[in-house]
Amino acid sequence: MQGQPNQVLSQPYKLFAGSSNIELAQKVAECLGVPLGKATIGRFNDGECNIQLGENVRNAHVFLLQSTCPPVNDSLMELFLMVRCFRRASAKTVTAIVPYYGYARQDRKTTARVPISASDVAMLLEAAGVDRMLSLDLHCGQIQGFFHHAPVDNLHAFIEHVPYFVKEVVPAFKDDPIAVVSPDAGGVARAKMFMEALSASNVQNISLAITIKHRRAAGEVEAMNIVGEIKGKHCIIVDDMIDTAGTLCKSADSLREMGALSVSACATHALFSGSAVERIGKSSLRHVIVSDTIPIDRDFPPGSAAEVAVRDKIKVVSCSRLLAEAIRSIHVGTSVSSLFAVNPAAAPSAAAAAAA
């Protein structure tokens, strides 16, 4: 990546954050060497958002970081109102940094009389006055086309995940072969990029596999078939998000039954809805590597399956440096193409990932 993380940019700009992921925003600010903008964000007694900027933003280039993570509607409305607040305060430009883009899975009409919510959210943000969008691993690439006026930069978290895997996970595999597994046909491109990044990092003997799942209902897998060879290999399931983890854990158990030596998972967005963390703790998954686009609850009873999962299995590799470099590139007008190349030397240590 270009530049130093603590480099202070010469041109004026301001970085603000909504309330959905303050910890990530603080890390991004630290990487940039700038303070977070002052803003008071609260709720009225009836639940309405109460927002007030604490500093002047007239003619400023504003970067606003707000993941639309659960509670999704509250986070989205807060994002909308903050953008409107900056516009009414005469900000010169507003760039929305939305690490996790809510409603992304509703990207097409699957039945009659339903909205295309991913497109409608894009319309909402553009109507609010967003000049540019920056996100991380959109559920599908065509969401970028839902923004008709605001350019969209869709970064990939595997740029940070692969160096961590190479440094902390792959050595335990020794000379055993590795299979990168896509959970469905739609994720093949993502899994292929992950595999190519591993190869570029001098990891040998890697292949690609695809799971074909037969569902009884949404999130409930009845049976699973594999395209590709996984027997006698260490499998890495690559996906953009983990929601309830039901399908992921079922896939991991099935891969082990089919002869996989071990199964790990790598995903960008750790939604962990319902009993997801507990399921991961009880599953055959060895490692679950995620980003910090969504805050993760770590308050579980000692000795519980969920506590074991967050202690021993789930590792968080921060995307703060990636976002900070993107902000720097957007602001000074340089290319973001360097942010799509893996830098093995930038791998965070296991201690740093645990701390994240």
Active site amino acids: 213
Which amino acid belongs to residue 191?
A
Cα 129 from Cα 20, distance rounded (Å): 20
DSSP E strands in the chain: the ranges are: 14-17, 39-43, 49-53, 61-65, 93-98, 132-136, 152-155, 178-182, 206-217, 220-227, 234-242, 262-270, 285-290, 314-316
Cα 97 from Cα 78, distance rounded (Å): 13
Angle subtended by helix axes 320-332 and 22-32, to nearest 10: 60
Cα 139 from Cα 248, distance rounded (Å): 16
Q: Phi/psi at 213 (nearest 5 deg)?
A: -100, 140
Closest residue by Cα to residue 84 from 45, 126, 24, 121: 126
**Residue position matching structure tokens 């299979």:** 179
188 burial via Cβ count (<10 Å: 0-12, 13-18, 19+): middle
Cα 47 from Cα 42, distance rounded (Å): 9
**Residue position matching structure tokens 């959905």:** 20
Contacts for 349 with CB less than 8 Å, ≥ 6 apart: 167, 168
Taking the CB of residue 172, how many other CB atoms lie within 10 A of it? 11
Q: What is the DSSP letter of 13?
A: -
CB 266 within 8 A of CB 314: no
- DSSP track, 62-106: EEEE----SSHHHHHHHHHHHHHHHHHTT-SEEEEEESS-TTTT-
